[in-house]
Structure 1
């Protein structure tokens, strides 16, 4: 019974990420629409996605509190309703500022309540197979991004962008029955609905320098992904690539990542590969360097075939890394105080995710070049790779850790990094 309830929870978490996490990756398709119909500059159009991702992570501390007070089920349900209303209300928007609130704030906050809670739930249930479980669950948004990016462009062409947003809201609404299905499985796995016996929010994490450095590295990693998701479609369109083909680039990333993510999750679940021990921190850093190299070369690919080749390399490294940052976090710091750790880490990531696209948007408006976002994304990935190694050398190499270090450093949990 326990085995099947775990499968039920994993499937439910996957589908939650599919229906509510996937649409977040599809809104790069609306970049040009916002510029044309809402008279938005590149900075203003990018702010929609920037606020969406920023709010997603900034809501982390609130989700920690809500899960403790209301339980996992009601936190997910409330988040889904907020996200659905946000997407549907966006269809009546007459200004980019209104879209900031509906798509940016409502969809971002609602998605965080649903998806982050699911990853926290899975973190409690799975132990030995946690890396593989995280990668499979993170695939949800990648799988849905494959059809949704193309569907969104087709819906725009067929029903206009307002009708398209209504259809997207219907897709998000499908999360409601999935949540009920998942929570039924969690109940059979003896997961408690609330955690009132714990502190609602433990600030002792802020005393751990290594944890804060890890948060900084994670923030740079996510910010680089947000920049690519925000500007890839628009860059392709600026190179004269037809809109459907440009929208399909995100679908290609999703397809390649989907194919390789289970393999990556299985590999990092092993202790050794042949005679070599598996060091997840080093593997993560290498994949980030590969991502950075691919992103850096993207502006030099001016034809569609060249762009596709670079995108495939980028997606392959993204698929291998998968939810590895989440697993590395667990390896280095432990899984205690799950919800508190999630909130602190999410808040730091939110600052980078919200700030990067609009700041680059200012430069794009000034220069008219859509290459700058990719150079910054490559730089962020490289810096993240270095910081991940530094954190491992400071924390992961300590075989005999002192009690005072454990008290401050082992209060970190698993989050939904792949999400992005």
Structure 2
């Protein structure tokens, strides 16, 4: 888009599709490795579950707190390099633990805290290096989780048999230091937190995911103990988690490519809800039989739905929150998500101790996943219907409120130019009718809110009047798709409208008003585009 805009308006600076060119793909590789080391790591803890129970003479619910604390701390962080050091120190100290309490503090809390520093920065930075290929970049980065899910259990089983759990934790400490190398590569841009402005879509998504996470991690923690409990060999049981990880290496990029198509851009949140629904239904199969062949089939089918959830989890968040707010939104999102991750495994362990039946753990997982999917899908549909029926009066009220603040009232006698601007406003508000094309300059198509956000930033930074006109024309073209209504609201096009009123260019004012009007009147897009 940046190159195309440059062809139409030579004076317009390029939008930051990949601000550092090829380096963006190096950043992506670092993000893949970081996510494999951090998010992939907790999936191997199930292999140590039985060994830790035997070592510390603990119940299922007591032992479940270790992976729970570790996974819950996997968010809300600051820097990758500091995180790598903390994660490494936690695992090394954990290898010397004499009680479960010491293990909670070291390998659970300290390692989890270090991983949270590494993980969040690796996710946030992608949004600033990628625009056009952001969906694919997120999917490829999440494939790092799949790589970790595949390799960590294999390494864990090998180390446990040869070095014991204490020696394994020492080796893990060295492996996690590689996060420091990834941190040196990332060189993040603009990671300062802005003030979070809540919106309904963000609240719905956060609540749905927080509820979903109560069930989502349970198969990773309990699948191996479940298989061993029913007589499956320990090596074959550990292989089940690796099957899930290996399958996701290929499935997540494929899911990202499909979801990244322009045809699906406005439906990604529904695809995410569908993936969560299928994930919950799949867990019912696992609860029905513990035969190894059935479990292998379960892992393959489970991988399909898991790849959809993993590839879209953060992309949908980027869709409902503008990129300049993403860091803050991600922080709150992951903190709330961590509460669910902290509670879920111990709750499932307590259920297992009470019933002595692993099937109830998978029923519990299915309940949370299915109910969350239905809630998110239904809520997003209702919000979309409300937005499509939004009243035209909203813009008129916004203009009425904004005009006195800018001195743009009919009573204002401070020069004829302000009077002329107010006349333009009134004329456009009267003449903008559904079915009438208000933009005389052709706008270039935008593939998503990321490119729209880049153009908003460009409008604010450029001094070229022609460039500003083209930006507003592009945004107006973007506004003709009713599904983009919420994005333009979040991009604060009314602020651009007010900025344009301070210019001397009447055409610029016209473009700004038309764009703002379309943003607040999605019904025009369906009939005017």
Shorter chain as normaliser: what TM range? 0.7 to 0.9
Among 76, 93, 100, the alignment partner of 2:97 is: 93
Moved more, 316-325 or 257-266: 316-325
> How far off its partner does 1:221 sit?
2.7
Map 1:186-205 to 2 at 5 A.
Answer: 186=188, 191-192=189-190, 195=192, 199=194, 202=195, 204-205=197-198
Change (3 A) 1:400 1:326: farther
Map 1:33-72 to 2 at 5 A.
Answer: 33-57=51-75, 60=76, 63=77, 66=78
Cα-to-partner distance string for 1:355-413 (whole Å, 9 max, x where unaligned): 11111211211221112211111111111211221342244452587689979x849xx
Is 1:245 aligned with 2:233? no
User: Separation in 1 of the partners of 2:231 and 2:127?
Assistant: 45
Q: Which residue of 2 aligns with 1:320?
A: 308
User: Separation in 2 of the partners of 1:143 and 1:228?
Assistant: 17
User: Separation in 1 of the partners of 2:228 and 2:285?
Assistant: 17
> How far off its partner does 1:11 sit?
0.9
Among 154, 157, 160, the alignment partner of 2:158 is: 154
Greater RCO, 1 or 2 (C-alpha within 8 Å, sep 6+): 1
In structure 2, runs of 5+ residues without a counterpart are 1-18, 399-484, 492-529
Is 1:385 aligned with 2:373? yes
**8 Å CA contact 1:263, 1:320 repeated in 2:** no
Q: Which residue of 1 aligns with 2:347?
A: 359
Moved more, 391-400 or 110-119: 391-400
Is 1:105 aligned with 2:93? no
Cα-to-partner distance string for 1:243-290 (whole Å, 9 max, x where unaligned): 1111111111101111111111000110227xxx86212222222222
Q: Which residue of 2 aligns with 1:120?
A: 124
TM-score, normalization by structure 2? 0.68
The structure 1 segments of at least 4 consecutive aligned residues displaced by more than 3 Å after TM superposition are: 394-397, 399-407
Q: Which residue of 2 aligns with 1:28?
A: 46
Q: Which residue of 2 aligns with 1:168?
A: 172
Is 1:7 aligned with 2:25? yes
User: Separation in 1 of the partners of 2:178 and 2:309?
Assistant: 28
User: Separation in 2 of the partners of 1:302 and 1:21?
Assistant: 27
User: Separation in 1 of the partners of 2:68 and 2:384?
Assistant: 33
**8 Å CA contact 1:83, 1:106 repeated in 2:** yes
Moved more, 83-92 or 221-230: 221-230
Q: Which residue of 2 aligns with 1:415?
A: none
User: Separation in 2 of the partners of 1:54 and 1:22?
Assistant: 13
In structure 1, runs of 5+ residues without a counterpart are 67-74, 412-420
User: Separation in 1 of the partners of 2:350 and 2:367?
Assistant: 18
CA RMSD of aligned residues (A): 2.4
**8 Å CA contact 2:32, 2:142 repeated in 1:** yes
Q: Which residue of 1 aligns with 2:204?
A: 213
Aligned length: 381
Among 238, 257, 273, the alignment partner of 1:266 is: 257
Is 1:82 aligned with 2:86? yes
Q: Which residue of 1 aligns with 2:331?
A: 343
Q: Which residue of 2 aligns with 1:282?
A: 270
TM-score, normalization by structure 1? 0.85
